[in-house]
């Protein structure tokens, strides 16, 4: 297969980006690549190179890019108007579908991003509990707000439960409001929760943390100890919602939180996310059903945007069709298993970690179970692997393969050929 060539047009665009954007980027993936179009399981760059796409817009495009049925409802909605601020039919129908599908969802409040959704979920839990501290897990990602950017990727982590801020500019005071526990270590997490239960307003967790599946009993144990002390448990399902199962990770792993955040898939590639939760917690958004000091105003110009809601509704309808999840899981399992087999045969110490719809490889012989074990993996080798795949027409995120319903047998074959060539190159 031809190596990737970069045209003058793409080079010019990259230079222009560096002139007007910090770091020459949107802040997302680090590579100098300009994507100009996507269709089904593939994208194309400004040089005309085509890639099988496992970046999938960082996850929203579960059913593939530019799905004709989604495009049709989007065009219809655009012709009728793109935003109203007032209630709109598409947002109401989408809220109804989220309540039907997601076990913990009695009510839904829309936001524009997953960051806002986790931010409001935490604020709601604190309003309900009338306590300020939150507990999150080391390595867990909940977006970019001040509480989320605590021990998300600490280079030199403090001892538990002391947080390490991940960004400049976060007020020092926030560090006193966040406790950190190790993912997949129920005993330590339980001890921290029990020691601090009087101060805790919420526990937030990605039920599948980045790429780490929960150990059997971990989520159940966290559910038990939070319920015992009346602390709201929030599942951040921005990634896992409608991806691991129609009802999300709470269905897939069989544990129901009190609230969850949703995003990515539910908006079909547009900016929309949501907080969903039980009746009591969600009543804090309603001035008429909560005490005055318990009211939580939540306003966003584009919240529940009708174009995004229409795209999300159609995406969910497509996901409800016979055999969709079987297909996503079959594609993901094939790629996961084949990659692990090739690495084993080449005697490269590595493990492919995750679930079928979302996984990646860690270049280490250590078991990957929590954030600190992920630090043992060889990041440079992963970066090289990613570059080798890119040169062979396979695009992925820096640390993720997202699988799409739209990936075809030809896409999978091209990927397997790229895996074989990349594993070969890593070994030489």
Ligand X SMILES: Cc1ncc(COP(=O)(O)O)c(C=O)c1O
Question: Going by DSSP bridges, is the β-strand pair 107-111/273-277 parallel, antiparallel, or unpaired?
Answer: antiparallel
Closest residue to ligand X, judged by C-beta, is: 114
From residue 369 to residue 398, what is the string marking binding to ligand X with x (rule CB under 6 A)? ------------------------------
Structure tokens at 415: 């990927």
Q: Residue 147 or 325: which CB sits closer to ligand X?
A: 147
Footprint on residues 56-75 left by ligand X (CB under 6 A): 58
Is 336 catalytic? The answer is: no
State the nearest-atom distance from the C-beta of 104 to ligand X, in Å: 16
Is 402 designated active site? no
265 binds ligand X (CB under 6 A): no
CB 269 within 8 A of CB 70: yes
Q: Which stretch binds ligand X (CB under 6 A): 72-80, 236-244, 321-329, 420-428?
A: 236-244
* Active-site entry in 45, 53, 185, 236: 236
Q: If binding is defined by CB under 6 A, does position 238 make contact with ligand X?
A: yes
Which member of 10, 206, 258, 355 binds ligand X (CB under 6 A)? 206
Is the omega angle on the peptide bond into residue 161 within 30 degrees of 0, that is, cis? Answer: yes
Closest to ligand X by CB, 40 or 238: 238
DSSP state of 191: H
Residue with tokens 């998300």: 152
Q: Which is nearer to ligand X, 239 or 276 (CB)?
A: 239
Integer Cα distance of 154 and 140 in angstroms: 11
Distance CA 46, CA 211 (A): 30
Q: Which long-range contacts (CB under 8 A, 24 or more apart) does 33-41 make?
A: 33/390, 33/395, 34/10, 37/65, 37/66, 38/65, 38/66, 39/64, 39/65, 39/66, 40/64, 40/65, 40/66, 40/67, 40/404, 40/406, 40/407, 40/408, 41/65, 41/404, 41/406, 41/407, 41/408, 41/411
Does 130 qualify as catalytic in the annotation?
Answer: no
Per CB under 6 A, does 142 bind ligand X?
A: yes
* First-last CA distance in the chain: 19
Decide: is 415 part of the binding site for ligand X (CB under 6 A): no
- Give the residue, chosen from 61, 94, 211, 239, that forms a contact with ligand X under the rule CB under 6 A: 239
Residue choice 113, 164, 414, 415 for contact with ligand X (CB under 6 A): 113
Which residues participate in catalysis according to the annotation?
Answer: 141, 236, 264
Judged by the rule CB under 6 A, the positions of this chain that interact with ligand X are: 58, 113-115, 118, 141-143, 206, 236, 238-239, 263, 273
């Amino acid at each position: 297969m031809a190596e990737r060539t970069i045209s003058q047009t793409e080079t010019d665009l990259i230079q222009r980006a560096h002139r007007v954007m910090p770091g020459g980027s949107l802040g997302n993936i680090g590579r100098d690549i300009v994507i100009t179009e996507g269709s089904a399981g593939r994208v194309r760059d400004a040089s005309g190179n085509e890639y099988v796409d496992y970046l999938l817009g960082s996850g929203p495009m579960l059913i593939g890019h530019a799905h004709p049925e989604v495009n049709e409802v989007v065009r219809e909605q655009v012709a009728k108007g793109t935003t109203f601020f007032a209630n709109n039919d598409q947002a109401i129908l989408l809220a109804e579908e989220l309540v039907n599908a997601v076990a913990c969802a009695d009510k839904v409040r829309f936001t524009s991003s997953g960051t806002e959704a986790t931010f409001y979920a935490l604020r709601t839990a604190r309003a309900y509990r009338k306590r300020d501290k939150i507990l999150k897990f080391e390595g867990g990602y909940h977006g970019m707000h001040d509480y989320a950017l605590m021990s998300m990727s600490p280079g030199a982590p403090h001892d538990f439960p002391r947080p390490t801020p991940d960004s400049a500019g976060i007020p020092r005071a926030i560090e006193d409001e966040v406790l950190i526990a190790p993912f997949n270590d129920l005993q330590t997490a339980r001890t921290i929760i029990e020691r601090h239960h009087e101060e805790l307003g919420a526990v937030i967790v990605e039920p599948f943390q980045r790429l780490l599946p929960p150990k059997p009993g971990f989520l159940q144990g966290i559910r038990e100890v939070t319920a015992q002390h009346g602390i709201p448990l929030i599942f951040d399902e921005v990634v896992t919602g409608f991806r691991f199962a129609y009802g999300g990770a709470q269905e897939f792993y069989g544990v129901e939180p009190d609230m969850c955040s949703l995003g990515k898939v539910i908006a079909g590639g547009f900016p929309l996310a949501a907080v969903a939760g039980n009746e009591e917690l969600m009543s804090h958004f309603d001035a008429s059903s909560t005490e005055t000091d318990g009211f939580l105003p939540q306003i966003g110009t584009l919240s529940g945007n009708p174009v995004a809601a229409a795209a999300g509704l159609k995406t969910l309808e497509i996901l409800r069709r016979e055999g969709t999840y079987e297909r996503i899981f079959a594609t993901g399992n094939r790629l996961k298993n084949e990659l692990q087999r090739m690495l084993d045969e080449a005697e490269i110490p590595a493990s492919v970690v995750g679930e079928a719809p979302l996984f990646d490889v860690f270049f280490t012989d250590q078991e990957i179970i929590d954030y600190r074990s992920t630090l043992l993996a060889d990041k440079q080798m992963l970066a090289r692997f990613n570059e080798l795949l890119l040169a062979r027409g396979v695009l992925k995120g820096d640390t993720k393969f997202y699988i799409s319903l739209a990936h075809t047998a030809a896409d999978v074959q091209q990927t397997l050929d790229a895996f074989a060539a990349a594993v070969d190159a890593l070994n030489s």
